[in-house]
Amino acid sequence: MTGGRHTPLPPSGAPLRIALIASARHPITEPFAGGLEAHTWTLSTALRARGHEVTVFAGPGSDPGLGVVELPLRPARISESACRDTSMVAAPWLEEHHAYLQLMLELARGPSRYDLVHNNSLNYLPVAMAPGLPVPVVTTLHTPPTPWIESAIQIAPQCPVRFSAVSAHTAAAWRHVVPAATVVHNGIDTRRWKPGPGGDDLVWSGRIVPEKGTHLAIEAAELSGRRLRIAGPVGDADYFAAYVQPRLGRTITYEGHLHQPDLCALVGSSAAAVVTPCWDEPYGLVVAEALACGTPVCGFARGALPEIVTPACGRLVEPGDSTALAKAVEPTIGLSRHDARRHAEASCSMDVMTARYERFYRSVSA
């Protein structure tokens, strides 16, 4: 999808001035709240290392090394009468709406100091207000379709936003409103995610929420007879209390929400990574992280996982089948850790991702 006229971007090889709009829900800093925050940190760091000028618009508490401009997450002055209206939404949602509205209005005023705006958030306003900006806007699709963004895409007769998607699976899910999203797989820094020696235990990492299926990883580990180490932020305290905490003990342990070096050491010292999405995973950054550590992946064939996991570096089974997952554990452990690492370098690396984003950016004015 293309739209309004803009000044062409600098020629290939020349540095770009990029406004990178991040999610305001969590700070862009370690330990990351989730894959979106990790992706934003990695992309902005890599672009800057390649000579581009990057300004990251993100929530308070983000890594100051990213050149962050904090989104103005302050409450709008809403009267008591308005608060009593049936259309009143939760305060965090309204704060976020107010912050992105202010940002987009500021970006629309006068000559721009940027060559393009990259919306890497899940908010609809950068899409809806893109026609008012003097520079191109690109948006990365990180999730299955949402009603707010679908609505924003349809505001203008021809949406001026150019879209990328983190996987072919995600691009296909949006095709009814975004017929030609450019697929740019997420990448991780393979210099930070280093190969490990392996070990005897299984590992599960990620946000501990129902859609990530931590409880199914526990079931599979128990059936396989191997220990399981769990790491990640508790995103749903009720789910953790009901389905994870009661199963913790000698063979199932929770290691906490780890910073990257500690998480790398944990994953790299494991025999296999268990990945158990209970939703259509748009990408699965934990897969890339495991493979970069040389740790093969045993998981559910759901969402984008079949795009990332090849027979040389993992085994996938029917979604939700913890018994089949348990049976696949030993074949997965028998795979080459060298092949897993090599696949990560070729397909899941930060360098590959960033080069593709550079080509995507240049294409917006072609």
Any idea what the CATH number is for the domain that residue 146 is in?
3.40.50.2000
CA distances for 289 relative to 231, 277, 324, angstroms:
13, 16, 23
User: Which phi and psi angles does 66 have, rounded to 5°?
Assistant: -85, -5
How many domains are contained in the chain? 2
Mean pLDDT of 19-48: 92
Domain that holds residue 26: 17-187+349-363
Residue 3 has pLDDT above 50, yes or no: no
- In 3D space, the residue among 318, 281, 280 whose CA is nearest the CA of residue 299 turns out to be 318
Question: Rounded to two decimals, what is the model's pTM?
Answer: 0.90
The answer to whether 142 and 176 are in contact (CB under 8 A) is no
Please tell me whether residues 265 and 359 are part of one structural domain: no
Please tell me whether residues 215 and 338 are part of one structural domain: yes
Please tell me whether residues 333 and 354 are part of one structural domain: no
Please tell me whether residues 113 and 221 are part of one structural domain: no
Q: Per the structure block, which two tokens stand in for 56?
A: 């990251």
Please tell me whether residues 171 and 236 are part of one structural domain: no
The answer to whether 117 and 136 are in contact (CB under 8 A) is yes
What's the pLDDT band for 156 if we cut at 50, 70, 90?
Answer: confident
Please tell me whether residues 89 and 218 are part of one structural domain: no
- 137-141 and 162-165 strand pairing: parallel
- Could you report the per-residue pLDDT of 261-308, keeping only the tens digit for each? 999 999 999 999 999 999 999 999 999 999 999 999 999 999 999 999
CA distances for 192 relative to 136, 268, 290, 301, 350, angstroms:
32, 12, 12, 27, 10
Is 34 domain-assigned? yes
Q: Which amino acid is at 259?
A: H
Please tell me whether residues 177 and 213 are part of one structural domain: no
Please tell me whether residues 245 and 276 are part of one structural domain: yes
Please tell me whether residues 42 and 169 are part of one structural domain: yes
- In 3D space, the residue among 115, 117, 121 whose CA is nearest the CA of residue 141 turns out to be 121
The DSSP annotation for 122-185 comes to S-SHHHHTGGG-SS-EEEEE-SS--HHHHHHHTSSSS---EEEESSHHHHHHTTTT-TTPEE--
Q: Per the structure block, which two tokens stand in for 14?
A: 């020349």
- Could you report the per-residue pLDDT of 164-196, keeping only the tens digit for each? 999 999 999 999 999 999 999 999 999 999 999
